[in-house]
A and B are shown apart, each in its own frame.
Chain A
Amino acid sequence: MAVVGVLALQGSYNEHMSALRRIGVKGVEVRKPEQLQGLDSLIIPGGESTTMAKLANYHNLFPALREFVGAGKPVWGTCAGLIFLANKAVGQKLGGQELVGGLDCTVHRNFFGSQLQSFETELSVPMLADKEGGSNTCRGVFIRAPAILEVGSDVEILAECPVPSGRPSITIPSAEGVEEEVYSKDRVIVAVRQGSILATAFHPELTSDCRWHRFFLDMDKESHPKAFSALSLSSSSRGSEGGSKTKPFDLPIFE
């Protein structure tokens, strides 16, 4: 059976775990490099990317994560996870932060600004409706969200979002910090796929729409169809590890 890892250093890993539970898939929390072994795919959740990078560093997770991505196993990053997967990020803290890389794009770490500029919108994602059915749009919750400024040629753009009007101009610090450039387009990329890597700037795990999670699992199926045939709705028989005394309680989904 396929086992989906969720990087559980900090952030919305509980939400991803419960989204996986809702669609009947076993999720495993990953905090140490050895826990990546035996996983078929990995979700890197939202959270504070600097915090997650620090914690990953303390336990020497970066080499193992790079190896996992390099092996072509499906990986999905939401928000902070997108930053982790990008080859290049701008607008980082002083001294920068370590990235996993693998996704050929440039990410602006805090494109949409601070919490007061956080927002929710209906995103048009025709691909999602094609593959998983349902409506052409999905709920996009953007929390201090990043955005994708540029993508390489083999990156497929899945969704774009209008840049909120009435925002102060968004500057893009160049790599050397010498000159700043103002973002002039009125739309910005917020969801992409490159081979086995999926990345979203928003948080499907905060909504009741499980289609992104299903889509991600289908990517896994594409990559090795046989191993997958007998999966789903499994009673999580093996390794009912650690926290067996009580099932964790989930936060409600805010509509």
Chain B
Amino acid sequence: MASDGSGVVTVYGSGNNGAGTQLEPKSSPFSVKVGLAQMLRGGVIMDVVNAEQARIAEEAGACAVMALERVPADIRAQGGVARMSDPGLIREIKRAVTIPVMAKARIGHFVEAQILESIGVDYVDESEVLTLADDAHHINKHNFRVPFVCGCRNLGEALRRIREGAAMIRTKGEAGTGNVIEAVRHVRSVMGDVRALRSMDDDEVFTYAKSIAAPYDLVMQTKQLGRLPVVQFAAGGVATPADAALMMQLGCDGVFVGSGVFKSGDPARRARAIVQAVTHYSDPNVLAEVSCDLGEAMVGINLSDPKVERFAARSE
């Protein structure tokens, strides 16, 4: 049973992936879902709110765009319930560019996800930046042919999302703040947990899996691989080329930039600089060069202020 098309293949044991929780496999195998994420590696995914911004992002070298009605900074400022964007807008953005187009659905709102699948988006972000639709359950992502990306703050959360069918993981960070501290905290947490897991005795993994509330098979696979078994991006608070390169050096496969580009003084220039920073993340000379004269960065929000709502804490 090399392939049942239903989930992450475990590399230990008999090749039985031990996942009895999914419905019947659909035509889109997990390899194809992860495949697109693998093609996005080393790239930057940018939030855009209209076709014009999408073209600017494409022109700057974004490897995908996230189609939204409001960027997270505006969602934060305006409050209220944030929902899936108008499908008409997403279609318009899809027509405007040739790169993949992603869109956000509310956590647990599988009908929004069905709508997004039906209009043919390339990836769905089940996102805590939108208001929750279900505070107990995430979408069963195995039921979809479209692949999903989900946020996480730690290893347990990442593996729970992967078991639910997410083909790509991103840090939650704190979207719309221009403050990278939470994204750093989350990626450090995941990477640190993976490092601790690698040196753990096999006998201890059962209890460890229980303690982080993650499926044992995925914990074991992570231990064997030395990394998450899917592509991992950084997101939430990335505002400068240096932020982006920091996330890459911490071990992420790529970067989402939300409000950071189009809430800044010179979006086209900043977008291009961040794209270059992700490719040349370990070359400080290039980073210095691309960081010059970018104009004003987006406003930052200090997260030690207790009045600032934590999007990341909305789901487990």
B28 near A116 with CB under 8 A, answer yes
B38 at the interface (CB under 8 A from A): yes
Q: Is the CB of B280 within 8 A of A31?
A: yes
User: Does A54 touch B at the CB level, under 8 Å?
Assistant: yes
- B278 → chain A, closest Cβ, in Å? 8
Q: Whole-angstrom distance between the alpha carbons of A120 and B126 in the complex?
A: 25
> Do the beta carbons of A254 and B221 come within 8 Å of each other?
no
Q: Does A206 interact with chain B (Cβ within 8 Å)?
A: yes
Q: Which of A51, A109, A116 contacts B61 (CB 8 A)?
A: A51
Q: Within 8 Å CB of A58, what residues of B?
A: 61, 272, 276
Q: Does A10 contact B (CB under 8 A)?
A: yes
Q: Is the interface of B mostly helix, strand, loop or mixed?
A: loop
B3, B41, B122, B227 — which one has the most chain A CB atoms within 10 A of its CB?
B41
- CB contacts (< 8 Å) of B225 on chain A: these are 249-252
Name A's interface SS.
loop
Cβ-defined contact, B31 with A144, below 8 A: no
Q: Quick one: closest B residue to A206, CB to CB?
A: B35
- B279–A93 contact, CB under 8 A? no
* Interface check A196, CB cutoff 8 A: no
B227 CB contact (under 8 Å) in A50, A143, A249: A249
Say which size band chain A's interface belongs to: 35 or more
Give Cα A31–Cα B58 distance, bound, in whole angstroms: 20
* Contact indicator A15/B38 (Cβ below 8 Å): yes
Question: Smallest distance from the beta carbon of B101 to chain A beta carbons, Å?
Answer: 8
Determine the residue in chain B with the shortest Cβ distance to A91.
B98
Closest chain-B Cβ to A188's Cβ sits at a distance in Å of 18
Contacts of A46 on B, CB cut-off 8 Å?
38-39
Candidates B27, B36, B145, B226; contact of A143 at CB < 8 Å: B36
**Does A20 count as interface, using CB distance less than 8 angstroms?**
no
Count A/B pairs, Cβ under 8 Å: 154
Q: How far is the CB of B196 from chain A (nearest CB, A)?
A: 15
Given A50-B58, A93-B58, A115-B36, A243 and B282 touching (CB < 8 A)?
Answer: yes
A249 to B190, CA, bound (A): 14
User: Judging by beta carbons under 8 Å apart, are B32 and A118 in contact?
Assistant: yes
Chain A residues near B40: list those with CB within 8 A.
Answer: 11, 47-48
Given A50-B61, A116-B117 in contact, is the A93-B41 Cβ separation under 8 Å?
Answer: no
Residue among B9, B62, B98 making CB contact with A255, cutoff 8 Å: B9
A2 interface residue, CB < 8 Å from B? no
**B115 CB → nearest A CB, Å:** 13
Contact check, B99 vs A9: say whether CB atoms are below 8 A apart: no
Q: State whether the Cβ of B25 lies closer than 8 Å to any Cβ in chain A.
A: no
| Cβ B147 vs Cβ A254 within 8 A | no
Q: In the complex, which residues of chain B have a beta carbon less than 8 angstroms from the beta carbon of A251?
A: 34, 38, 225, 227, 229-231
Q: Which one of A12, A79, A142, A203 lies within 8 Å of B41 (CB-CB)?
A: A12
Note all chain A residues with C-beta closer than 8 A to B34.
251, 254
Asked whether A55 is an interface residue with its Cβ less than 8 Å from the other chain, the reply is: yes
A8 cross-chain contacts in B, Cβ below 8 A: 42, 279
**A200 interface residue (CB < 8 Å to B):** no
Q: Does B11 contact A144, Cβ atoms closer than 8 Å?
A: no
* In the bound complex, CA of A92 to CA of B97 (Å): 9
A119 at interface, CB cutoff 8 A: yes
5 A-B pairs with C-beta separation under 8 A: A10-B278, A15-B38, A51-B63, A114-B122, A118-B36
Given pairs A11-B42, A54-B59, 12 additional interface contacts (CB within 8 A): A10-B63, A11-B40, A11-B43, A15-B38, A51-B63, A55-B279, A115-B36, A116-B145, A141-B35, A144-B39, A249-B225, A251-B229
